[in-house]
Each structure stands twice: as C-alpha cells, then as structure tokens.
Amino acid sequence: MTKLEKFKLSYETFIGSFISVALLYLSNFLMEFVTKNPRIQACITILMLTTLVAWLNRVVVTAVERLSCLRKWIDRTNFIEGFWYDITYDDDRNIVHVVFLTITFENSKYELCGEAFDKVGNKISTFNSSHSHFINHELTAFVNSTGDKNILERSFDYYNFNKTADSYNGFYIDFSTLKPKSILGKRVNKEDVKKFNGFKKFENIEAFIKTII
C-alpha cells in the first residue's frame, strides 16, 4: 500500500467517524428545533450529510490531484515526481543511450514521458507510458516510444528507487528483441532545474544531457 493509498484510507476512516458523530448531534438538533417526526428527520439528515461528505471528498481529492506539494508531504521519501536522467547499458556495460525522464501524477496514476539521446547528445526517440504501477519504491510501466522513422516500439520498464527517492536502478525489455537492458538513474537536482529554465524547452533538455555524457 502506497502512502497516498494510506492517506486515502485514513481520510475515509475520518469521514466515517465524522458521520457517526454528526448523526448524533444533527438528530438532536432536528428533534429540538425543527421536527419530531422521525421520517422527516431521517430525510433531512441523509440529505445534509450526503451533500457535506460529497463536498469534502471533492475538495480532498481535487487537492491531492492538483497540489504536488501536498503529495510530496504525504509521500515524503516515496515522492518520485519530477525530472530524472538515466543511462542505459548493454551486456558489456557499454552505454547504449541516455534518457531524460519526467514523472508526473495525473488521474490517480503516474505518467512517464521523455526523450532518449545517443552518446553524443542527439535525440533518437521520444516516449510515454501507457500504464504504470508504483508500490514500495518500485515503479513498473509499459512504455511506447517513437524514433526518427516514426516506428512505434513498446517496452516494459522497471525502476527500483532508493529509500530517499533520489536515484534508481532497473531495466527495460524491448518487446521487439526481448533482451533486457540495465539502467541507472538519478534525480535532477534543484540547481540544474533552475539553471536549465525548468526544462520548459527541448533546447534546455538537450543542453543538460550534453553535460552528463
């Protein structure tokens, strides 16, 4: 269970406790000031609590989805969103390519996208994930990539993050060859994010990649 899932469970437990207490006080209030008819009391109580719970749920879910700072506070050392780079090696530990990776959280799941570069810094493909799963510092994803010839390639990627979520190791398997290739990755530090203008343009990413190869 991820920390976001634990947060959701704690929130649902809180809502359940809140409803129990609210039912008691609301019933007493309605009996004293509104009506003594139990059916009318029940209808008003259900309507009010349903509206309140729906509103609270929408507020919390929206906040978690939209605020990365809130997710970072909840996830702490499990927070993997941001900019990363990794190096892919072949069986002889020769560099195959370098990847610039962006991880975001959208629609309650992690999205991966980025570019791959050759050993001299030329872009060779772009990629994005079609499905991902994250638990216990391990992220798996099915990835679609497109090269210069616009040929779609699919792969399975595995990332094992360290306890502080600032580096990872893993592998990916290209479905066309079924041969795994190992990867080593690191989080891009804050200074480089600032130096390269938050990687808002491809030129910023390209310049950064050339500093690490």
Pick from 164, 182, 184: which is nearest to 173 by CA? 182
Q: What is the pLDDT of residue 185?
A: 96
The answer to whether residues 138 and 37 belong to one domain is: no
At 129, list the tokens. 């994930």
pLDDT in tens, 23-54: 666 666 666 666 666 666 677 667 777 777 77
What is the Cα–Cα distance from 82 to 76, expressed in whole angstroms? Answer: 13
Of 127, 107, 108, the closest CA to residue 172 belongs to 127
| Domain, as residue range, for 44 | 3-75
What's the pLDDT score for residue 186?
96
* Number of continuous H segments (helices) and E segments (strands) in the chain: 5, 8
User: 114 and 41, same structural domain?
Assistant: no
Low-confidence ranges of the chain (pLDDT < 70): 1-41, 44-45, 56, 59-67, 148-151
Task: Specify whether 107 is located in the same domain as 12.
Answer: no
For residue 121, the model assigns a pLDDT of 85
The Cα–Cα gap between 114 and 102 comes to 6
Residue 178 pLDDT: 86
Q: Which of residues 51, 75, 99 is at a domain's end? A: 75
At residue 182's C-alpha, the angle toward residues 179 and 185, to 5°, is: 145
Q: Do 10 and 59 belong to one domain?
A: yes
Predicted local distance difference test score (pLDDT) of residue 194: 93
In DSSP notation, 4-49 reads: HHHHHHHHHHHHHHHHHHHHHHHHHHHHHHT---HHHHHHHHHHHH
- Residue entry with tokens 């610039």: 100
Q: Are residues 202 and 174 in the same domain?
A: yes
Specify the number of domains making up the chain: 2
Which of 75, 97, 126 is the last residue before a domain boundary?
75
Q: Which pLDDT score is estimated for 212?
A: 84
85: nearest Cα among 117, 54, 130: 117
